[in-house]
Amino acid sequence: MDQTLKKTSALPDGGRRPIRRPSRAEAEEAVRTLLAWAGDDPEREGLQDTPRRVAAADEEYFSGYGNDAVDVLSRTFEDVAGYDDMVMLRDIRVESHCEHHIAPFIGVAHIAYLPANRVVGLSKLARAVDIFAKRLQTQESLTAQVADAIEQALAPRGVAVLIEAEHQCMSTRGIHKPGVSTITTRFSGVFEQDSSYRDRFLQMVHAERRG
């Protein structure tokens, strides 16, 4: 496996400092340390397999580091039979972890773009959300990174991203306020310049769900 994390083009700073990736055994040892820190005995039967399970779960939670969203979004279609209106995906499930507490934040993303001449497969947009969500994040950066990747890959006339999520570091610890939605937005191009596009996007976000 790679000993360094790959440079990722859609990060705000254009990349990241290469770091040594610890071995699996070192990661499991770190989990054992946290179990003891919690006040439990890492050697008792119920906890013996926990470090292995936590490492495996982390591989899944943080699987976005090895993937490049711009790459995924660059597989575009050019022939859309003259379609040039807004393309919108609503209620894309977001499962991420805050970089401050490694606590989950869970919610939905709504994405729209106004194509210039290229459109992308719809599942690719959802995949781009996952690539950034499966890293340690703030909701603000996640929102900006999704929008910037679409911008970079499609060069559309505009991009709108709205994420609403509940942060478990606010609901199960700290201030203990469940049911609080954090909403973040990023608008570019026509969505930034023309409030009628922005309003239309927000109306579609809030339009009644069927079923």
What would the two tokens of residue 9 be?
Answer: 């083009």
Q: Does residue 127 interact with Zn ion by CB under 5 A?
A: no
Q: Which of 100, 173, 177, 206 binds Zn ion (CB under 5 A)?
A: 100
Question: Which amino acid is residue 194, in one-letter code?
Answer: D
Q: Which range of residues in 7-15, 48-56, 95-103, 180-188 is near Zn ion by CB under 5 A?
A: 95-103
Interface residue with Zn ion, options 35, 98, 109, 149 (CB under 5 A): 98
Q: By C-beta, is 157 or 167 nearer to Zn ion?
A: 167
Tokens 């770091």 correspond to: 19
Query: Please, which residues have CB within 8 angstroms of residue 199's CB and are 6 or more apart in sequence?
Result: none
In the complex, residue closest to Zn ion by CB: 169
Distance of CA 82 to the CA centre of its chain: 31
Interaction residues for Zn ion, span 167-186 (CB under 5 A) = 169
Contact 157, 201 (CB under 8 A): no
Distance between CA atoms of 128 and 124, rounded to whole angstroms? 6
Q: Which residues are catalytic?
A: 98-101, 139, 167, 169
Among 24, 32, 90, 101, binds Zn ion (CB under 5 A): 101
Question: Which one of 19-27, 56-64, 91-99, 147-155 is the stretch in contact with Zn ion (CB under 5 A)?
Answer: 91-99
CA–CA distance, 201 with 4 (Å, rounded to integer): 40
Which residues form the interface with Zn ion (CB under 5 A)? 98, 100-101, 169
